[in-house]
Amino acid sequence: MFKHEKPLFHPVAVERPNPQYAALLQEQLGGANGELKAALQYMSQSFRIKDPEIKDLFMDIAAEELGHMEMVAQTINLLNGHDVDFTKTDAGEIQTHVLLGLNPGLINASGYSWTADYVSVTGDLCADLLSNIASEQRAKVVYEYLYRQIDDKKVKETIDFLLNREEAHNAMFREAFNKVQDTGSNRDFGTTQAAKMYFSMSEPSPKNTTLDGIAGKPPAFQ
């Protein structure tokens, strides 16, 4: 069961309208790494989770992502102002000017519709957790790009809050993965000698790599 509480998860504001930036921010509403994708992915994954603590974690984060979606939509509204005028959007989607009346839509920054193909569900907890960790990391990157392209202090405050919450979710999913990393696909596969082999395909090779994976070791990236 869900309920809607009228106060936003975190207050949002803008210093001035900026329709062009509103088009950019649409990416985090209806894009492949946006808030709707995250909410529905974590919720969908939770349906088969047996561990009650991890199931609650998925649902709690999914609910928060819906709150983030509301924040993003309200920020888009404030940035758009109240007049339909496509000339204020020099590039990017203009669909909201002719179809939605500037209502924030389930589209990305180019006007492409949100799709359930963005959602990744495997039924394997380890795989889903790793997917979620990557999703949070990609969302952080998008918010970082958005942060660099606006000088509105109030909008930057909102993005900074959302970016930090993505980092919090990332840490929560990593902690959950540490708890279950010896289960599911991690338990069933990757236990033979073949899983420990490293083949150097770079010539000339900096190391003499053997098939047994002992004398030759994979590079350590710092």
Residue set of the binding site for Ca(2+): 56, 60, 202
Enter the DSSP assignment of 127: H
Annotated binding site: 35, 56, 60, 65, 68, 136, 169, 202
How many CA atoms lie within 13 Å of 37's alpha carbon, on the beta-carbon side? 26
DSSP track, 42-65 = HHHHHTT---HHHHHHHHHHHHHH
Annotated binding site for Mn(2+): 35, 65, 68, 136, 169
Q: How far is CA 9 from the centre of its chain?
A: 18
Listed in sequence order, the residues at least 6 apart from 49 whose beta carbon sits closer than 8 Å to its beta carbon are 55, 58, 125
Q: How many separate helices (H) and strands (E) can be counted in the chain?
A: 8, 0
The angle formed by the CA atoms of residues 125, 173 and 73, to the nearest 5 degrees, is: 110
